[in-house]
Structure 1
């Protein structure tokens, strides 16, 4: 891959974990719409819950999540009380005939929650929602938070997947991002959760970090492979200091350039494939017998705010400050500020801050973009089957894309738009060609690779 092509296709574009993307959400969509959407869920619907814990006991400078640092447990306790009120309010609106098939605890650091409080929170969720017996329960983990009581609590709530952020094990890189976490700590977490019955372990690696070199990344990937995680997420560092002020703590001159970022991504991916992992989309890898790999092979892979998933639920309900939900009618985001969020839910009302109601064109483009991101292809026949004559607009845009593609990154064969293997790392830029909102300039995005 030439430097010219890398620079050409690594512009700033959305990650497309939703369409339309969050910058286009509006305050015109709020509690009234959200309540009606929740009440519309019925017996044939399945639900995923995302539970956001916006606290950490340290602030990692690379992080782009909605979180804040606390060295005391009191703010966490207060927040959990408010979160419990939201669980009750939302649960009262959702039909008990709708089944919860997946629960994801994210943050922040969910493992900052102590054992008794985590058990109480899960009990409350089960009281207010119909949780399937085989529901997948995943938890994002910080090894620095964990102790025996917390491990036991996670086993008690039925955790099925543990997700560990690693980033890079090199001390110089860790110091530059304020994330000190040794390989030994990480290996111990993997052993602890597996001994308590967790069926799956996911590890995150980040490329493009300050002071990261090919050598440090190779050592990190080799260490991760030695732990035999079921899944590995390989993310590019998103440097967005205009959104996350703490990222200004990172010296921009220490960040690798676009060509080095690309080389780091390719090398890490090659190592994972050589170790037997199947590549999933642009940034995930899984053992061949993992549900994510099976979904990719069967064409049922989807994408949500956590990235690639095999989750087929009708709706994703976000609970907690800043959490985003996706329902058949559209998207809803909760109030980001924890204080304002807490005041809202303590009054027994929903905490929606903004949202987006989908049009038929939005649904069609969302499906097309998701298939391109997941399959590196778009089936025109399936598009027509789902959306009828309106599909002709997307098909025409695909044909125009191919006609203007001097690099031959896309082609049309057997009524399918196909992304060439060498262009797959740039698929975000290709998907962006079908984004009807991107040109209006709302929002700034991270680089595509």
Structure 2
């Protein structure tokens, strides 16, 4: 058993906050290679089972402003022509993928992400809807989630999203504090956001997700709590509480943010803990280490019933057999491995309009990869894992897992762990740092030279 009164010292917080991958995939994307190419991707699509369930992710990599905190693959544009050109390529990729599928599978989830999908015109969304319906077998109860920026939205665009079939709207809040917003170049008032959410609900969209960040420049615990209180007043169904990932070596525009005004590790931990307490006390159930949902929400139900999953959008109740990524930089996951599309929109357009796969890299999953991926996902979703089940009868792998656990249980963090020879688990106080413990089972981590953001 783990003592419930274990208190984290400042030294412990500092140790557990060392940079590690987000583990939205295993192995993480820096370990993707050239093993999975366009030919592999085509074969994986054609080999899917007739009864497979499919999740589609469509990436719209354009924004009409450049937010300095953002780590997504996006392009800044104030013109419509590049968006139209890109959409033509996206429609071509949809046709290529659907031809390889040959009518197999059923789409149970569609997610439009960005960038800012709300830059699409209603006629663009209608064209996309027709293409998807022509190329895929869509479940009548398909869930359709769309990310949107209140600065982009008009009533006409919201009508177009509703006609597209949107069932969940996702808004990036980040922070409502004016000083923080100015520093990250993301001006978005509470009133503006509230009006957009009201307009979404007026159109019968019953599910709202709001993203909040801590660890941003000039944030304090008090300002984070002010933002969270305003977010709660909007009564979203889901809240994602993310730590700002400062990765200027990957995203050069983040150099616009002065590091001296960023909260330190201990401040980030205090902000996260205070915000999580306020959200939980307001009737939301904790889902994983950074999501919250109302008890009636399917995400909360998935967490309660052991059906929670994790993919490139974070925690999800989506249990589809395969994730198909469409658009520049989009990532797909199949039983055989991962594929990622080329990032540069010009190269993406040239490839798909030339009749080729958009793939740039990927990873073919070994048996060991699959078992380690299962273990890490279990730990991130449930904070405990059956080690025998993870090894799945492989004695060499079981011994490797036991060695990993031995290192952890002999570390200074041992008071935060439980181990009975079968089940490995984390104390509640350790859950915000679950990625730190998951990293102990990552056989690729020691081999890589890539850098990551803080574990808190």
Q: Distance in 2 between matches of 1:441 and 1:330?
A: 19
What residue is the counterpart of 2:409 in the other structure?
403
Shift of residue 394, structure 1, vs aligned partner: 4.7
Shift of residue 6, structure 1, vs aligned partner: 1.0
What residue is the counterpart of 1:126 in the other structure?
133
What residue is the counterpart of 1:114 in the other structure?
121
Q: Distance in 2 between matches of 1:150 and 1:172?
A: 30
Shift of residue 402, structure 1, vs aligned partner: 4.4
Q: Distance in 2 between matches of 1:102 and 1:431?
A: 28
Q: 2:362 aligns with which of 340, 355, 379?
A: 355
Shift of residue 404, structure 1, vs aligned partner: 1.2
1:4-153 equivalences under 5 Å are 4-153=11-160
Q: Distance in 1 between matches of 2:281 and 2:453?
A: 29
- 1:152-210 alpha-carbon deviations (Å, 9 max, x no partner): 01110110110000000000000000000000111111111111121210000000000
What residue is the counterpart of 1:236 in the other structure?
243
Q: Which moved more, 1:15-24 or 1:404-413?
A: 404-413
Change (3 A) 1:360 1:170: same
What residue is the counterpart of 2:270 in the other structure?
263
What residue is the counterpart of 1:184 in the other structure?
191
Q: Which moved more, 1:21-30 or 1:80-89?
A: 21-30
Q: Distance in 2 between matches of 1:377 and 1:414?
A: 13
Shift of residue 134, structure 1, vs aligned partner: 0.5
Q: Distance in 1 between matches of 2:399 and 2:83?
A: 49
Q: Which moved more, 1:299-308 or 1:404-413?
A: 404-413
Q: Distance in 2 between matches of 1:293 and 1:387?
A: 32
Q: Which moved more, 1:132-141 or 1:411-420?
A: 411-420
Contact 2:372–2:390 (CA under 8 A) maintained in structure 1? no
- 1:130-164 alpha-carbon deviations (Å, 9 max, x no partner): 11110110000100110011110111011011000
Q: Does 1:377 align with 2:384?
A: yes
Contact 2:65–2:76 (CA under 8 A) maintained in structure 1? yes
Shift of residue 248, structure 1, vs aligned partner: 0.4
Contact 2:19–2:454 (CA under 8 A) maintained in structure 1? yes
Change (3 A) 1:399 1:72: closer
Q: Distance in 2 between matches of 1:383 and 1:44?
A: 26
Q: Distance in 2 between matches of 1:194 and 1:205?
A: 20
Contact 1:364–1:387 (CA under 8 A) maintained in structure 2? no
1:175-254 equivalences under 5 Å are 175-254=182-261
Contact 1:207–1:261 (CA under 8 A) maintained in structure 2? yes
Contact 2:337–2:364 (CA under 8 A) maintained in structure 1? yes
Runs of 4 or more above 4 Å deviation = none
Q: Distance in 2 between matches of 1:214 and 1:432?
A: 28
Unaligned regions of 5+ residues in structure 1, if any?
none
TM (norm. structure 2) is 0.96
Change (3 A) 1:387 1:239: farther
Q: Distance in 1 between matches of 2:352 and 2:40?
A: 16
Aligned-residue RMSD, C-alpha = 1.2
Shift of residue 415, structure 1, vs aligned partner: 2.1
Q: 1:314 aligns with which of 321, 328, 348?
A: 321
Q: SS of the residue aligned with 2:151?
A: helix
Q: SS of the residue aligned with 1:256?
A: coil
Q: How many pairs does the alignment contain?
A: 448
Shift of residue 390, structure 1, vs aligned partner: 5.0
Shift of residue 389, structure 1, vs aligned partner: 3.8
- 1:50-88 alpha-carbon deviations (Å, 9 max, x no partner): 000000000100000000100011100110001000000
What residue is the counterpart of 1:364 in the other structure?
371
Q: Distance in 1 between matches of 2:51 and 2:401?
A: 32
TM (norm. structure 1) is 0.98
1:409-424 equivalences under 5 Å are 409-413=416-420, 415-424=422-431
Shift of residue 442, structure 1, vs aligned partner: 3.2
Contact 1:232–1:284 (CA under 8 A) maintained in structure 2? yes
Shift of residue 406, structure 1, vs aligned partner: 3.0
Q: Distance in 2 between matches of 1:289 and 1:405?
A: 39
Shift of residue 381, structure 1, vs aligned partner: 4.2
Contact 2:284–2:294 (CA under 8 A) maintained in structure 1? yes
Q: SS of the residue aligned with 1:145?
A: coil
Q: Does 1:174 align with 2:181?
A: yes
What residue is the counterpart of 1:295 in the other structure?
302
